[in-house]
A and B are shown apart, each in its own frame.
Chain A
Amino acid sequence: MIADFIEVPVIDGGPSVRIPVPPLLRVLDGVVPPPRHGIFQVMNRCDGDKRVVWNSDSLAEIQAAKEMFDNLKKEGLTPYRVGVGGKAMSDKMDEFDPMAEQVLFLPLKLAKRG
């Protein structure tokens, strides 16, 4: 079985980085996670965004999600907890929060003056 991965956008012109998705977590095709699941949405140029869900009732999955959170952050992506359903909210996350409903990883280092 081929391990799933997330293509992290190129920062400063370097090669893109592939972050593996931990085997315990699932890549989601749709956009709405199952009940009691959290979702990471990682913006990238290849897929638009890649969505990974974890079960917030499972300690093992939370641990795996935290590991992935740290890896993505280490590669330069900025995690935001965003509101859903029209709730205008955006909090930068310094640490993984298993209660976060939706976390959006943005390549803010690629944001520049237009």
Chain B
Amino acid sequence: MIFNNYDDTGTATYTPSISASIVYPTDCSTTNSIYVKKWIDISTNASIYHAKGKCTGATTPCSYCDFWLGEDSTGSISKKYILKASYTWANDYNNYHNWSVVPAVPVSPSQRLRQILQSRQAPSIITSRTPVRAAAEGREIRARQTLRRMLGDDGFQRFLRNGFVSVQAHSGKVYQIYPGHGMTIVYLNGKPIEKLCVVLEGNFTPTDHLITRYVMILHDEDHFRASANVFAAPLRRTAAIRQLDTRSLPQIFHDIKAAA
């Protein structure tokens, strides 16, 4: 089904929960359509989107035309995204891009029950940190290899576990840097003092954004701050406590069977 289309001479915001932030690269001038498929990770119920383009004039496969879109850096599924087109097509070239969505794969009752059983095999851990997901794209894998070499194995493992990189600059401030378009949180003496937002223009991988911020901060944090939009310090977060399903397994089985 046709999901939506837009005129790429401007920027349009869409309310459906399609997760995409696409800036057309000029290298891809022959691309005349992009299709997005929605997939569900059945282990986490997270949505993942696969965008595929039609690159009619290219002689070699183009990575811009076939890539995976993750969630934002916080892992929020419900967040609405902005579809942005920075590229203006020449003359009367087709100005519209069709977006199609394949309905999410439903989770079967047996899979659902299996998930519940698995989730009960260990104590529930409450954490406000979102681990980094496995990289699905070649460019992102390379960027993470670079980051790993820079941070070392221990630092990289912390990044995977926590979803951010912490670095102490010359001033003594600690910067908590997130991949993608996530804001950098600045701490002084253990307290958050502000949030800074710097992004790379264009379709760079989330880890490339992080590497750029990391290098800028280490080199000249004043320049980094001058390049950023500055926001007030975030309130100290309290981890949202997930409501545990306290029903007994027979009761869950009965409910699932009734709903099927």
Contacts and interface: CB of A to CB of B under 8 A. Distances in A.
Interface of A: 7, 9-10, 13, 15-16, 30-32, 41, 43, 45-49, 80, 82-92, 102, 104, 106-108, 110-114
A45 B215 contact: no
Contact of B27 (A31, A43, A46, A82): A46
Given A47-B139, A111-B216, A32 B27 contact: no
Contacts of B50: none
B199 A102 contact: no
B64 interface: yes
Interface of B: 25-27, 63-64, 86, 138-143, 145-146, 148-152, 154-155, 167-168, 181, 183, 197-205, 208, 211-212, 214-216, 218-220, 227-229
A108 B202 CA distance: 12
B45 to A, nearest CB: 28
B143 A49 contact: yes
B26 A13 contact: yes
Contacts of B183: 114
* Residue from the set A45, A47, A82, A84 with the largest chain B CB neighbour count within 10 Å: A45
Contacts of A90: 214-216, 218-219
A82 B216 CA distance: 11
A45 B202 contact: yes
B26 A10 contact: yes
A107 B200 contact: yes
A30 B167 CA distance: 26
Contacts of B203: 45
Given A86-B154, A112-B227, A104 B25 contact: no
* Residue from the set A13, A82, A90, A114 with the largest chain B CB neighbour count within 10 Å: A114
A65 B158 CA distance: 34
Contacts of A13: 26, 86
A107 B201 CA distance: 9
A74 B102 CA distance: 46
Given A16-B26, A107-B200, A43 B212 contact: yes
